[in-house]
Chain A
Amino acid sequence: MKNVIEIQDLEKAFGSNVILRGVNMKLHKGENIAILGKSGTGKSVLTKCIVRLIECDSGKINVFDNDITEMEVDQIDEIRKRVGYLFQGGALYDSMTVKENLEFPVRRTQLSKNKSEVNDMVDEALESVGLLEAKHKMPAELSGGMKKRIGLARTLILKPEIILYDEPTTGLDPVTSGEISELIMRIREKYNTSSLIITHDMKCAEITADKLKLLKDGKFYAEGSFDELRKSDDREVAAYFN
Chain B
Amino acid sequence: MKKLTNQIKISVEDFLVELGNIVLFTLNTIKQFFIAPFEFKELVKQGYIIGNKTFPLIAITGFIMGLVLTLQSRPVLVDFGAQSMLPGMIAISIIREIGPVITALLCAGKISSGIGAELGAMKVTEQLDAMEVSGTKPLNFVVATRVMATTLLVPILVFIADAVGLLGSFLAVRMYEKVSIVLFLSQAFDSLSFYDVIPATIKSVFFGFFIGLIGSYKGYTASRGTESVGLSANSAVVSASLVIFIIDLITVQFSELLFA
Chain A positions within 8 Å of B, measured between CB atoms, are 48, 51, 53, 77, 80-81, 83, 85, 87-89, 91-95, 104-105, 108-109, 154, 158
Q: Does B81 contact A (CB under 8 A)?
A: no
How many B residues touch A, CB cutoff 8 Å?
15
Select which of B122, B127, B132, B135 is within 8 A of A53 by beta carbon: B132
A85 to chain B, nearest CB (A): 5
Q: Is the interface of B mostly helix, strand, loop or mixed?
A: helix
A126 to chain B, nearest CB (A): 17
Chain B positions within 8 Å of A, measured between CB atoms, are 37, 118, 121-122, 125-127, 129-136
A104 touches B125 (CB 8 A): no
How far is B138's CA from A53's CA once the two chains are assembled, in angstroms? 12
Select which of B37, B126, B136 is within 8 A of A104 by beta carbon: B136
Residues from chain B with a CB closer than 8 A to the CB of A108 are 37, 134-136
**Most central of B121, B122, B125 by chain A CB within 10 Å:** B125
**Nearest B residue (CB) for A158:** B134
Select which of A80, A87, A95, A105 is within 8 A of B126 by beta carbon: A87
B97 to chain A, nearest CB (A): 36
Q: Could you jot down 25 A-B contacts, CB within 8 Å? A: A53-B132, A77-B135, A80-B134, A80-B135, A81-B135, A85-B130, A85-B133, A87-B129, A88-B126, A89-B125, A89-B126, A91-B125, A91-B127, A91-B129, A93-B130, A94-B122, A94-B125, A94-B127, A104-B131, A104-B134, A104-B136, A108-B37, A108-B135, A108-B136, A109-B135
Q: Is the interface of A mostly helix, strand, loop or mixed?
A: loop
How far is B134's CA from A81's CA once the two chains are assembled, in angstroms? 6
**Nearest A residue (CB) for B42:** A95
Select which of A83, A88, A94 is within 8 A of B121 by beta carbon: A94
Residues from chain B with a CB closer than 8 A to the CB of A51 are 133
Residues from chain A with a CB closer than 8 A to the CB of B134 are 80, 104-105, 108-109, 154, 158
**Nearest B residue (CB) for A151:** B130
Residues from chain B with a CB closer than 8 A to the CB of A94 are 121-122, 125, 127
B147 to chain A, nearest CB (A): 17
A83 touches B133 (CB 8 A): yes
**Nearest A residue (CB) for B37:** A108
B85 to chain A, nearest CB (A): 50
